[in-house]
Amino acid sequence: MAEWEPQERVLLTLPDKNTDWAYMLDEVWACYSSIIRCLSSYGVPVTLFVRNTDDAVSLFDGSLPDGVTTVVMSYNDTWIRDYGPLSIEHVRGGEPRRRLLADFGFNGWGLKFASCDDNLVNARYFGCNTDGTFNPEYLNCRGYELEGGSVETDGRGTLLTTSSCLCSPNRNGGLSRGQAERTLSRLLGIDHFLWLDHGYLVGDDTDGHIDTLARICPGDVIIYVGCQNPDDEHYAELAAMKRELETFKTRDGHKYNLVELPLPSAIFDPEDGHRLPATYANYLVTDRVVLVPSYGQQHEDDLAAGIIQSVYSDRAVKSIDCRALIRQHGSLHCATMQINK
């Protein structure tokens, strides 16, 4: 299902002292609090995975915002976009519509990081969901490794992705495009594939997740990250990516309407000096509000939010300061996962 379709809730996993966030917990908690409070203020239900309920109480100074529930869970990391469930709508002939949540395998972005607990979050969540919070069917796809940030869909059979990630040798043994297409056609009902061979961000740990580079939007729009500075190390690859996007066509044979986002000015990690993979493409779409990452760069931040508002003119757009999230090489979309109705 497309991210912009009606949603039941948004999932997040709270950083704590047992995660890589331990050295900057106050900063990242402030970011998570901003995300969740913004969603709550627009009536978007939130489920927050925590190791203990005391942390959630502390995060919100003693009282959970309206519509926020907590689930005690074990996890390795907090990027739930990549190990959370994918929402699928199954419609066939005269049969009743079925809503499925697909649980794919997760191996720490190609065996880079520990993932033993992350890989079990969905099964444990379904197992403990006895209060009627939601009632979709559980679809076990754990035999295939797939991260939520690596795929974009319009909910009508089209999938946008990158060959560098889905054909990675450390995911599923390095499948060919054809092998990946056959598997995703069977599991997700995809029949139209758009593959990018170009585009990357310095500091990205994911082998080129599509949600850092380009996103499918309503009305046959693709919003993508561009670079106008020839001296920037991303310039050539993002230009090549744009040329690829210009060749893509919808299932009906029409060209996509391309909308360019700016590339944030370079942000460097204060600890090691390495450039961080900041991107405005890592936004979250909900029924009522689109949350867009900002990075303390007023011109670029405002420009990106305005561009996204032009694409999603039917809902509010709010910027969330994600300078804390980018320190661990992710951003707003990576930290969230929607469950569609």
Give residue-wise pLDDT tens across range 245-267.
999 999 999 999 999 999 999 99
pLDDT of residue 130: 47
Instruction: State the greatest distance between any 2 C-alpha atoms of the chain, in Å, as a whole number.
Output: 58
Contact 277, 326 (CB under 8 A): yes
Give the whole-angstrom CA distance, residue 131 versus residue 125: 12
Give the whole-angstrom CA distance, residue 45 versus residue 338: 10
Give the whole-angstrom CA distance, residue 102 versus residue 99: 10
pLDDT of residue 98: 84
Q: How many CB atoms lie within 10 A of CB 114?
A: 12
Identify the helix (H) or strand (E) that includes residue 122.
helix 121-128
120-158 confidence digits (pLDDT tens): 999 999 876 544 555 678 899 999 999 999 999 999 999
pLDDT of residue 136: 75
The low-confidence residues of the chain, meaning pLDDT below 50, are 130-131
Q: Which two tokens stand for residue 80?
A: 């739930």
Listed residue (185, 107, 119) closest to 153, CA to CA: 185
Give the whole-angstrom CA distance, residue 255 versus residue 68: 41
Give the whole-angstrom CA distance, residue 329 versus residue 335: 11
pLDDT of residue 301: 98
